[in-house]
Amino acid sequence: WYVLPAPRAFNIRPIQYDLTPFVGLLTDGLPHQLTVRVLGVPEGRPGWDLPTNVLVWRDAGPSRVTGGLLQHQLGTLSNDSTYALVDGWHQVDTRGGHHLRISGYLRTSRGWELTTVEQDVSNTSMHRWVGDMENPDQLVATWRDTSTVTVVGRDVFPTVSRSDKQFVLDGHIDVTPENRLTTRITVRDAEEALGLRGLQTWEHRELDDVYTGEAAYNLGVPRAQRNAVGTSTHHFRLKGHPGV
């Protein structure tokens, strides 16, 4: 129904998390289970599909890579919402966030290696509306996922990989006294990735994928009288140089 799709509609890029600090525990010869779930959603709640792949790189040397977990710090989950009446608008502001830091060591065919992963996820959103009919109605929300992976010991200089992902949703809907509904929406999917080896940058990538659209039509009339119109724009930009 839409001429221009939203970001990721036809290219669902997977979200990757580095589990290297746990490898020393996973190779102890015992069975292990990796579970992915949505935090805050009760077990068995339908509607959440989380297909998961585990990507494993095997050492070309020994049949078993040994190691251990040195640090596992999981921060306190923050999830706060406040309501206020601001200049006639009902407004709900929500903030959430979580922090993770893990470190582990491995004994590989190339020597000892220490990997530290630091992950931060956060969300801020502002939902506001006017009156019992919620007209107009507006939602502005931003999700961020920032990770830093530091590897020490394999090369002369430490290797640092950083990724800052951002997803923005900005939507506004209103109905005029003539019963004409208008929706305006912006969806932005962005990421900046940086790879450093010592002082040398070996990877730098910037992605910016933005969809904007506006549509309007008459409510409560036959289809032929709706006078529906809409415009949309999709801007995709990817720049930088890949890792080697």
Residues 76-102: pLDDT tens digits?
999 999 999 999 999 999 999 999 999
Average pLDDT, the chain: 91
2: confidence class by pLDDT, cuts 50, 70, 90: low
State the pLDDT at residue 7. 85
- pLDDT at position 40, please? 75
| Alpha-carbon span 206 to 23, nearest angstrom | 30
Please provide residue 26's backbone torsions phi and psi, each rounded to the nearest 5 degrees: -75, -15
DSSP string across 94-139 = EEEEEEEEEEEEEEETTEEEEEEEEEEEEEEEEEEE-TTTT-SEEE
Token pair 């930088």 is found at 240
Residue with tokens 């922090």: 99
Selected residue with higher pLDDT from 1 and 37: 37
pLDDT at 184 over 60: yes
How much is the pLDDT for 244? 47
Q: How many angstroms separate the CA atoms of 84 and 94, rounded?
A: 12
**Which of 58-67, 110-119, 184-193 is predicted with the least confidence, judged by mean pLDDT?**
58-67
Q: What are the CA-CA distances from residue 140 to residues 88, 116, 128, 187, 236 (Å)? A: 18, 34, 9, 10, 21
Phi and psi based region of residue 23 (left: phi greater than 0; alpha: psi -120 to 50; beta: remaining): alpha
Q: Express each pLDDT in 98-154 by its tens digit.
A: 999 999 999 988 889 999 999 999 999 999 999 988 999 999 999 999 999 999 987
| Residue 94 near residue 124 (C-beta atoms within 8 A) | yes
Residue 16 pLDDT more than 80?
A: yes
Closest CA to 136 of 170, 169, 171, 175: 175
pTM for the whole thing? 0.86
For a pLDDT cut of 70, what percent of the chain falls above it? 97
Q: Average pLDDT, stretch 34-46?
A: 81
- pLDDT of the residue at 3: 66
